[in-house]
């Protein structure tokens, strides 16, 4: 049996890309430490700032909230009810259970109640794939929740696997503007709260193990609308690569941050210069009416 890298106790989990195994306590410390380092490295959250954590009820967002609270941050949660039938009901329950157990504050934005439609209707009406309609709604509504609640920063649970898969998708089509924007911390701009991804140094398998070891219950099923989407296929492709070359996934993502993002600085600056204000809702938008308001108009 392998031994914990830090304390020599029997190990319960191995992290192949670090060529290391950990006992439960040291693994939890590893997760906190990787999160702390990501926050520090990318200047994600300054002392005294108020953080709004986007909570889906899944392993990543609940692990993130737990770690941020543990690290002493002033972190509230926000749950977006997306109107995806039983999946939404169940995931909201996990989010609320965690908040209740910790005595933490969870805001709920009920999209069907407040806007008159759920993600399935929005996708149908706009002929977007559901994940596109959903991502668009989340970006808009999380930002609105942060501004309305006076939060300095929105934190999301995107992990290394997520970011690497998004990166692969952007690279396969060379979406240069998306690449230039794919940062672990997007600074606040007029009308946008800062957006940060403190879990980018942790793999999916690690956030799942974190929740298990911390006895945090979370919704295990993938969203039914995401089944078979490109993002999941890109994850498979990267998992195959990782299987053959442990560390390949982290190299792909980390080297992108270190070597490529600086080259894309000019593209990012051009992009930001194009952002104006939505004439309907006042949110930042590069078109006269922002994509969310356009979607609302079409679906309602």
By the criterion CB under 8 A, which residues form the site for a second copy?
A: 171-176, 233, 237, 240-241, 244, 248, 251-252, 255-256, 258-260, 263-264, 266-267
Nearer to a second copy, 195 or 234 (CB): 234
Token pair for 67 = 């770690």
Nearer to a second copy, 267 or 289 (CB): 267
Number of other CB atoms surrounding residue 43 within 10 Å: 11
Residue 170 Cβ, how far from a second copy at the closest point, in Å? 11
Nearer to a second copy, 16 or 233 (CB): 233
Spell out the residues 6+ positions from residue 280 whose beta carbon is closer than 8 angstroms to its own: 289, 290, 293
Residue 46 Cβ, how far from a second copy at the closest point, in Å? 29
Token pair for 255 = 């080297």
Q: What is the dihedral of CA 100, 106, 112, 113, to 10 degrees?
A: 90
Residue 179 Cβ, how far from a second copy at the closest point, in Å? 8
Residue 269 Cβ, how far from a second copy at the closest point, in Å? 12
Residue 249 Cβ, how far from a second copy at the closest point, in Å? 9
145-168: buried (b, 16+ CB within 10 Å) or exposed (e) per residue?
Answer: bbbeeebbbbbbbbbbbbbbbbbb
Nearer to a second copy, 101 or 233 (CB): 233
Q: Are 197 and 184 in contact (CB under 8 A)?
A: yes
Q: What are phi and psi of 131, to 5 degrees?
A: -65, -30
Number of other CB atoms surrounding residue 215 within 10 Å: 7
Nearer to a second copy, 127 or 244 (CB): 244
Nearer to a second copy, 215 or 259 (CB): 259
Residue 265 Cβ, how far from a second copy at the closest point, in Å? 10
């Amino acid at each position: 049996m392998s031994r914990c890298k830090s304390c020599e106790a029997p190990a319960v989990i191995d992290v192949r890309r670090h060529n290391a195994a950990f006992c439960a306590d040291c693994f939890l410390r590893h997760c906190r430490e990787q999160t702390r380092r990501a926050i520090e490295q990318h200047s994600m959250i300054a002392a005294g700032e108020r953080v709004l954590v986007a909570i889906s009820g899944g392993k990543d967002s609940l692990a993130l909230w737990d770690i941020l609270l543990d690290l002493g941050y002033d972190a509230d949660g926000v749950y977006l009810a997306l109107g995806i039938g039983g999946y939404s009901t169940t995931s909201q329950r996990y989010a609320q259970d965690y908040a209740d157990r910790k005595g933490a504050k969870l805001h709920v934005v009920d999209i069907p109640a407040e806007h008159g439609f759920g993600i399935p209707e929005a996708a149908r009406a706009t002929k977007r794939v559901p994940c596109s309609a959903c991502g668009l709604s989340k970006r808009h509504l999380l930002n609105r929740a942060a501004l309305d609640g006076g939060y300095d920063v929105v934190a999301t649970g995107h992990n290394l696997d997520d970011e690497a898969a998004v990166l692969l998708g952007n690279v396969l089509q060379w979406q240069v503007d998306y690449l230039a924007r794919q940062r672990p911390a997007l600074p606040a701009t007029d009308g946008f709260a800062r957006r940060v991804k403190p879990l980018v140094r942790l793999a999916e398998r690690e956030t799942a193990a974190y929740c298990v070891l911390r006895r945090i219950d979370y919704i295990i099923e993938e969203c039914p609308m995401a089944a078979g989407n490109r993002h999941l296929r890109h994850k498979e492709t990267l998992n195959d690569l990782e299987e053959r070359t442990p560390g390949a996934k982290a190299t792909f993502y980390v080297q992108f941050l270190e070597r490529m993002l600086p080259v894309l600085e000019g593209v990012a600056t051009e992009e930001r210069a194009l952002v104006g204000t939505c004439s309907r809702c006042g949110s930042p938008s590069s078109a006269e009416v922002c994509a969310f308001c356009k979607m609302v108009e079409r679906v309602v």
